[in-house]
Structure 1
Amino acid sequence: MTVNSGAEPSSPTETEAEAESRARRARTEARLAAAGISVPAHLPWIESADTVTLRTPTEVARRTYALFLTAMRADSLLSDAEIPVEEMRERFPQGFAAFSPIEAAFFAAAEPEKQTLINSLWRYESLATLQWALGWAEELPWPTTICDLDTVIATMMDADPDERVATAALRPAAEIVDALDLHFRLHWATRHAGLEGRPNPADLDGGVIMERHHALNWLITFMGEDWDDVPTHT
């Protein structure tokens, strides 16, 4: 994401990439306005599809398995139906190889703290976002409710992981950047509502939006940060 305010009018010196980003922001703002969601015009635009640096399809596919295992372990512990770690490692070694430091520590802990379990469970939403980016899901629904867990889980369980990683391909960069532009502005709207003590506009789910924003920022290599340190500035 650029740090340009984008508030100034277009000029003869505006690059093609800047014009693309400005047009994307205008489309997003129109969509939000139609849904009754107001965001300030000074919010920055997102980097253009031609200049953004996406993670490789292989890296994204491996990250889905890391997220899947993290969320699944949290789910099993919270429901008192723990899945043995070695059983998970045998079934999905690709995920263990892709763990971030925080994820590895989570799996190493015999009794993770309750908040860690809750945070890890939310990774199903990040996973659903990356499934969409890889074309494993047809759409990224409007974020008013959590993802369809049965479908998200079945998508990971019903395919050979090695084949999935080897054949992974990303959606066009323009679609990914469109999604990021939307969720960046939605995240601002929900955060601002929280700061003012108001309900989220248009029944938005702030937790879903935050996880999607995190995943999409990681996907475009925002600020060059790895998974655990990806910022979600608004």
Structure 2
Amino acid sequence: MKHFTIFVSKNDMDDIESKISDVFAKVYAIKKNENEYSIKSKKLFNNHKITIRVASEDTNPDYFETNIPGMMGFYDRIPFEDENRKGLVMTQISVLNTMIAIETEKDMTDGQMQLFTKLLSQIGGIGFLPNGILLDQEGIVIIYPDGRSGPSAFKPHACTRKVLGPEVTSEEGERRRNKSIAFLTETGIPFLKGLPQLPPSGQCSFQTQEAIARRAVSLLIVIQYACDVAQGKQFDESKHFFIGMLQRFGVEEYLTENERQFLQEEEPNRKEAISISWQYEAYWTLIWALGFVETLNFPDQVCDCEYAIQVVSSCETFEQFYIQTAMRNKEEIMDEADKTYRLHWACVNSRIQGEDAPAGLDESIVMERRRGLFWMIGHRDEEWDTISMDT
């Protein structure tokens, strides 16, 4: 076997050269010509060359336009014994955008194979062998060509560029990102420099002050009902009371579709109730934006639920509540959204590594804050229930 190919979903190729050097430089001399690397042993009587070619959708668009569909067709024809694994493999192939093709002059040795899988581990992605075997980034078999599953606990990975499209940059977005990174650095939280900017505030479809206020009131009311359900209380009486509250404040139309269904269920789902009750943290961002909360503290402790309730319960009508609001400026909200986005990446990254979130972060709090902030700025015009949580 003379060929080993690494496929990966990456935002850019900037770190590939350093990873090739890390793996091969101790034993091999490396010469680079554009995106091709010629690698020869430093031993006197071993002149067999290894060639590594690097390509991406940017540098070789025709290759990816032709070969990725061909690769998908090849694995689609394999009789997978596990249809779920087939779905994972097909998903991974669909987002590949970078290739590292390795070719040896003679059949590769076990020692070379170890180096190639080490490079795979450094870069990530999947390893493709000419016989159709797919390896995960640790070199463990995902699938055999006869459809048998390997022992890999494989999950697909997509870079933000494939999920979100090419990054749109601006001076404002870069200033905001740098401000967030300075905060993360100061608090000792890891960050991904390549995580995309948020768009400048002028390109965002901000919710109006009134829409935020009405959403805040409707959300708090449905949260109170969800808390009763989660605690096993008599929900019929509770439902009647909180539907009356929605009507009194005139905010029924600001419920989401999921919330409407939850209120209409004859036997409300306790798991769904718990999920909705966590949205106290999203509600907290709304009342922060409306001026009721001075600062969004570091997200390692749940919000002050008693105060969160009192903000609305002290009012008899929506108008009485609304007249007390004092909307923060768009830049403040955008800054918090950007910071929370990067805190969420740190939480997800730690979870993937099997580690606790850094600095005591609570990922559930961070996620719900992100929901509220991204909804307010109109990120991608997504609805409340479907705010994407990609990192």
Listed one character per residue, the Cα deviations across residues 75-119 of structure 1 (whole Å, up to 9, x for unaligned) are 112223345222222233233231111000000112222220110
Question: How far, CA to CA, are the matches of 2:175 and 2:295 in structure 1?
Answer: 22
Compare 111-120 and 195-204 and name the one that shifted more.
Answer: 111-120
The count of corresponding residues between Structure 1 and Structure 2 is 223
User: Aligned runs of 1:9-48 on 2, under 5 Å?
Assistant: 18-48=170-200
Per the alignment, residue 341 of structure 2 pairs with 184
Compare 207-216 and 78-87 and name the one that shifted more.
Answer: 78-87
Compare 74-83 and 29-38 and name the one that shifted more.
Answer: 74-83
Per the alignment, residue 90 of structure 1 pairs with 244
Question: How far, CA to CA, are the matches of 1:169 and 1:57 in structure 2?
Answer: 9
Question: How far, CA to CA, are the matches of 1:227 and 1:118 in structure 2?
Answer: 17
2:331 is the counterpart of 1:174: yes
**Superposition deviation, residue 166 in structure 1:** 6.1
Question: How far, CA to CA, are the matches of 2:312 and 2:300 in structure 1?
Answer: 23
Per the alignment, residue 264 of structure 2 pairs with 108
Structure number with higher strand proportion = 2
1:85 maps to a residue whose letter is: K
Cα pair 2:299 2:365 within 8 Å, conserved = yes
User: Aligned runs of 1:55-74 on 2, under 5 Å?
Assistant: 55-74=207-226
2:390 is the counterpart of 1:230: no
**Superposition deviation, residue 170 in structure 1:** 2.4
**Superposition deviation, residue 142 in structure 1:** 0.8
2:245 maps to a residue whose letter is: R
**Superposition deviation, residue 136 in structure 1:** 1.6
User: Aligned runs of 1:78-157 on 2, under 5 Å?
Assistant: 78-81=230-233, 82=235, 83-93=237-247, 94-157=250-313
Question: How far, CA to CA, are the matches of 1:197 and 1:95 in structure 2?
Answer: 42
Structure-2 change in CA distance of 1:4 and 1:176 (3 Å):
farther
Listed one character per residue, the Cα deviations across residues 41-69 of structure 1 (whole Å, up to 9, x for unaligned) are 11111122233221011111111122112
Alignment counterpart, residue 50 of structure 1, candidates 169, 190, 202:
202
Question: How far, CA to CA, are the matches of 2:363 and 2:311 in structure 1?
Answer: 24
TM-score, normalisation: structure 1: 0.88
Structure-2 change in CA distance of 1:71 and 1:109 (3 Å):
same
Listed one character per residue, the Cα deviations across residues 174-220 of structure 1 (whole Å, up to 9, x for unaligned) are 00000001000000000111111100000001000000101111111
1:77 maps to a residue whose letter is: V
1:98 maps to a residue whose letter is: Y
Question: How far, CA to CA, are the matches of 1:51 and 1:58 in structure 2?
Answer: 20
Name the Cα RMSD after superposition. 1.9
1:112 maps to a residue whose letter is: P
Q: Partner of 2:202: helix, strand, or coil?
A: coil
Per the alignment, residue 133 of structure 2 pairs with none
Question: How far, CA to CA, are the matches of 1:4 and 1:171 in structure 2?
Answer: 30
Question: How far, CA to CA, are the matches of 1:105 and 1:99 in structure 2?
Answer: 10
Alignment counterpart, residue 360 of structure 2, candidates 194, 198, 203:
203
Compare 172-181 and 94-103 and name the one that shifted more.
Answer: 94-103
Alignment counterpart, residue 318 of structure 2, candidates 162, 184, 201:
162
Question: How far, CA to CA, are the matches of 1:148 and 1:3 in structure 2?
Answer: 38
1:171 maps to a residue whose letter is: R
Higher relative contact order by CA 8 Å / sep ≥ 6: 1 or 2?
Answer: 1
Question: How far, CA to CA, are the matches of 2:238 and 2:190 in structure 1?
Answer: 47
